[in-house]
Amino acid sequence: MLKVGIVGVGQFGQNHARILSLSNKCEFAGLYDKNKKRALEIAGKIDAKIFPDFDLLLNECDALVIVVTTISHYELAKKALEKGIHVFIEKPITSDLWQAKELIKIADEKNLKIQVGHIERFNPVVMEIEDKIKDPIFIECHRIAPFTPRGSDVPVVLELMIHDIDLILAFVKSDVTYISASGAGVMTKSIDIANARIEFKNGTVANVTASRISLKRSRKFRFFQKDAYFSMDFQNKKVTFIKKSKNLYKVLPKIMMGKYEGIDTKDVVDIMEVDASNRKKDALTYELESFVHAVEADINPIVDGKAGTRALEVALEIVKKIDKR
């Protein structure tokens, strides 16, 4: 069974550690955190082994989950890969593109897996609808949250918006041709609120907004395509799916003539609502199990290093556009 360790058990990392400790898909080797008090606290809660040194943890791992500040991703992942250890890296993959590309090069040379923690790919809401999304024409995303210190070491584009960027790139099978963006820092010296317009070669347009200074929390994603409209509410785990009604062509001649009497909404569109909250596992469990499976089956992770790098490239271009304003 694959032996998996974790470095970083802060606010988010503790969830990874808990899931790994309970998993029957892998053997949890233990954890390391430079904050020894925090390491002791989390290890006590989940009955896990603590490693006093990062290198000692690597000696006991086949795979490593990295949940630390972004600036440390490259150093820790490189060290693990060079020792022949597969890595799961929380998003964004690295701080700079050259770092991500170097990690991919090392992994390719050693036939190792890199998975990047773009968790929304494993969100039950996305899993309910992903097979129905075909060639979207317009995409609109809003991801807003109240301010917290966690994640504020990077712009909101890299903290929050990058989730939606990754989803957009996964669903739009075309190259990005143009990006425009605006944003500002309010609570920090970095970017706290941002909006970007991403245009693709095939004509698709995405409008993306992210904020970490809002009074409420909301995560909504909308897709428009020729035959349907999808609205995904990540927070409430609900999907609304609207498509042309089978009866549309029966009433279309009347509509074209301006005769609307007797025509009901259901004659024009079918509305289906799906509650994705009843799935047995949460997104993080699906994500970590997917990583373990990719390593054991020697297959490409769903969100591999190249996907993480592509999302980072677009995110950094958005940051660049905002900084130039």
| Cβ–Cβ < 8 Å for 161, 180 | no
Residue (of 300, 319, 302, 304) closest to 96 by Cα position = 319
> 275 pairs with which residues across the strands?
238
Whether 5 shows a pLDDT value over 80: the answer reads: yes
Q: Are strands 205-211 and 138-144 parallel, antiparallel or unpaired?
A: parallel
- Is residue 91 helix, strand or coil? coil
Listed ranges 151-160, 191-200, 248-257; the one with the highest mean pLDDT: 191-200
Which residue segments constitute the domains of the chain, with CATH numbers given? 3-118+283-303 (3.40.50.720), 122-278+312-324 (3.30.360.10)
CA atoms within 13 A on the CB side of 114: 32
Length of the chain in residues, anyone?
A: 325
pLDDT tens-digit profile of 89-124? 999 999 999 999 999 999 999 999 999 999 999 998
Phi, psi of 184 (to 5 degrees): -160, 160
Distance separating alpha carbons of residues 322 and 307, to the nearest angstrom: 23
Report pLDDT for 249. 54
**DSSP three-state, residue 150:** coil
Give residue 129's pLDDT.
86
**C-alpha closest to that of 66 among 88, 92, 94:** 88
Query: How high does pLDDT run on average in the chain?
Result: 91
Query: Residue 180 is encoded by which pair of tokens?
Result: 């425009």
Give 3-state DSSP helix, strand, coil % of the chain, rounded to 5: 40, 25, 35
More confident residue, 215 or 209: 209
Helices (runs of H) and strands (runs of E) counted in the chain: 12, 13
Enclosing H/E stretch for 32? strand 27-32
Q: Is the pLDDT of residue 245 over 80?
A: no
Average of pLDDT values for 187-200?
A: 94
Structure tokens at 316: 């950094």
In this structure, the strands spanning 3-7 and 27-32 are: parallel
Per-residue model confidence (pLDDT) at position 260 = 54
Q: What are the tens digits of pLDDT across the range 13-66? A: 999 999 999 999 999 999 999 999 999 999 999 999 999 999 999 999 999 999
pLDDT of residue 281: 86
In whole angstroms, give the CA distance from residue 233 to residue 125.
8
pLDDT tens digit sequence for 269-313: 667 788 888 777 899 999 999 999 999 999 999 999 999 999 999
Distances 6 to 63, 84, 121, 161 between C-alpha atoms, Å: 9, 16, 21, 25
Tell whether the model's pLDDT for residue 256 goes beyond 70: no
pLDDT of residue 262: 56
For a pLDDT cut of 70, what percent of the chain falls above it?
91
Give dist(CA 14, CA 38) in Å, integer. 10
Query: 3-state SS of 225-277?
Result: ECCEEEEEECCCCEEEEEEECCCHHHHHHHHHCCCCCCCCHHHHEEEEEEECC
The phi, psi pair for 286, rounded to 5°, reads: -55, -45
Report residue 228's pLDDT band, with 50, 70 and 90 as the boundaries.
confident
Contact 33, 8 (CB under 8 A): yes
Averaged pLDDT for residues 161-167: 97
Q: How confident is the model at residue 231 (pLDDT cuts 50, 70, 90)?
A: very high
For 165-179, the pLDDT digits (tens) are 999 999 999 999 999
